[in-house]
Amino acid sequence: MKLLGYLWALPNTLVGLIFALVAVVSGGRMRIVDGVLEIHGGAVSWFLKNCLLGHGFLAALTLGHVILGYNEQFLSMHRLHERTHVRQYEILGPFFMVVYLAASLWGLIRGRGAYQGNFLERKAWEGDKKTSLCVALIFCLSAFNVGGPIKVMAEEPSRSLSSAVFFGVPSVMEIKQSRDIRSRDCRWRYLRAVPAGSFLWRAQEPSGPADALKYRRRHLEEQIIVFMGEKNRSEARAFAQAVPLYLEWEGMSENPLSEAKFAGEWLQKHPQTAIEPFVHLFMAHRLRAGYECANAGREKDSRPSLAEKYRESLKKAESFHHPLISCVIQDMEAQPYVYLNGHGRP
């Protein structure tokens, strides 16, 4: 059965192998992971960064049993999602591209968007190993032109302290191994605040999409503990489990903003919460990301209010005079972007 999957997806894989040749002559890298060729770097990275003509770039792109990644970090982050696309190719074979475009078109018609309304993408985020062949054949009969799987992604995340806290990149271990870390700087203070037995020291890549969301929630909970202390774990866990975290924002402002909105509502419902300083910081980070998305999407009307809300959240977080939170605020303010590069500061 596995051999049949390789053969059925072969036409798409051959297209992917063209990028393998390009990577070889342009300094890219590749390796086989569980029967799938992963490629990044060189001209492949240039292609993924520029093929959307300034509207973000592709973090990863699957072509049969070949996965193109902007860099090794993004390949790791999106491996579970892209592997679901590999399984879809094994089911749909040469019809995948046609089905994908038809599904995007149907998503637009239904008002859900070309990406979020695409049932193949929804299945990929759900980690569903069974794509409905009947539905796929119905789409094939629509006879649309070939299209490609597009995912608008952010610029490569910066390796700042705020990125470590809110994205987990770099990891705690990577920060510790940094050669430029100095005694008593913000990263040094942060490392000292991470408990010796913390999940953050031993965190490993999740094994599936469902586990990825659990990982994100656990990571957020443990970050709150770093800042607010073990005594507040019950509140940290309650917030981390309730907030509507997205695995990927897709470059859409409504996704980080929905997380920010929840944080604001949480504070209204829990006026005496001990984790208030961190929640304000979390809200500021999401508002900043939402502002960058709005700028990228030319949502002119929303930008002034988002900038104002961002500044208000920063001011409230700073008002608690928490040394580590102040460090993250300074770091976030020093960064040219937190999510989408080149789209201004609020």
pLDDT tens-digit profile of 240-268? 999 998 877 766 788 899 999 999 999 99
148 and 161 part of one domain? no
> What is the Cα 302 distance to its own chain's centre?
23
**Number of domains observed in the structure of the chain:** 2
What type of residue is 250?
E
**SS3 of residue 15 by DSSP:** helix
Domain boundary residue among 100, 120, 152?
Answer: 152
Cα separation of 278 and 297, whole Å? 29
194 and 109 part of one domain? no
For residue 12, being part of any structural domain is answered with: yes
For residue 342, being part of any structural domain is answered with: no
For residue 81, being part of any structural domain is answered with: yes
pTM for the model stands at: 0.67
136 and 170 part of one domain? no
Residue pair 264/283 in contact (Cβ under 8 Å)? The answer is: yes
Domain boundary residue among 115, 136, 152?
Answer: 152
181 has a pLDDT exceeding 50: yes
For residue 343, being part of any structural domain is answered with: no
Cα separation of 61 and 86, whole Å? 10
Tell me the pLDDT band of 126, cut-offs 50, 70 and 90.
Answer: low
135 and 166 part of one domain? no
- Cis status, amide bond into 170, omega within 30 of 0: yes
Give the structural domain span for 243. 157-334
Cα separation of 180 and 169, whole Å? 16
For residue 205, being part of any structural domain is answered with: yes
Cα separation of 314 and 333, whole Å? 10
Close Cβ partners of 7 (under 8 Å, ≥ 6 residues apart): none
Return the pLDDT at 159.
62
206 and 222 part of one domain? yes
Quote the crossing angle between the two packed helices 209-228 and 276-296, to the nearest 10°.
130
300 and 266 part of one domain? yes
For residue 274, being part of any structural domain is answered with: yes
Q: What percentage of the chain carries pLDDT values higher than 70?
A: 81
Domain boundary residue among 126, 152, 178?
Answer: 152
148 and 190 part of one domain? no
Tokens of 142: 């629509």
**pLDDT tens profile 44-62:** 888 887 776 544 567 788 9
10 and 144 part of one domain? yes
327 and 203 part of one domain? yes
Return the pLDDT at 252.
76
Please count the other Cβ atoms lying within 10 Å of the Cβ belonging to residue 119.
21
Report, as an integer, the average pLDDT of 229-247. Answer: 94
Report, as an integer, the average pLDDT of 132-147. Answer: 39
Please count the other Cβ atoms lying within 10 Å of the Cβ belonging to residue 56.
24
The gap between the terminal CA atoms of the chain, to the nearest Å, is: 53
132 and 240 part of one domain? no
For residue 138, being part of any structural domain is answered with: yes
Q: What percentage of the chain carries pLDDT values higher than 90?
A: 47
Q: Distance of CA 55 to CAs 73, 167, 244, Å?
A: 21, 22, 25
137 has a pLDDT exceeding 50: no
Q: Distance of CA 205 to CAs 79, 211, 213, 216, 219, Å?
A: 10, 9, 11, 11, 12
> Which single residue is written with the structure tokens 């909105």?
261
Cα separation of 194 and 130, whole Å? 41
Residue pair 151/115 in contact (Cβ under 8 Å)? The answer is: yes
346 has a pLDDT exceeding 70: yes
225 and 327 part of one domain? yes
Report, as an integer, the average pLDDT of 136-162. Answer: 46
144 and 57 part of one domain? yes
Cα separation of 148 and 108, whole Å? 15
For residue 346, being part of any structural domain is answered with: no
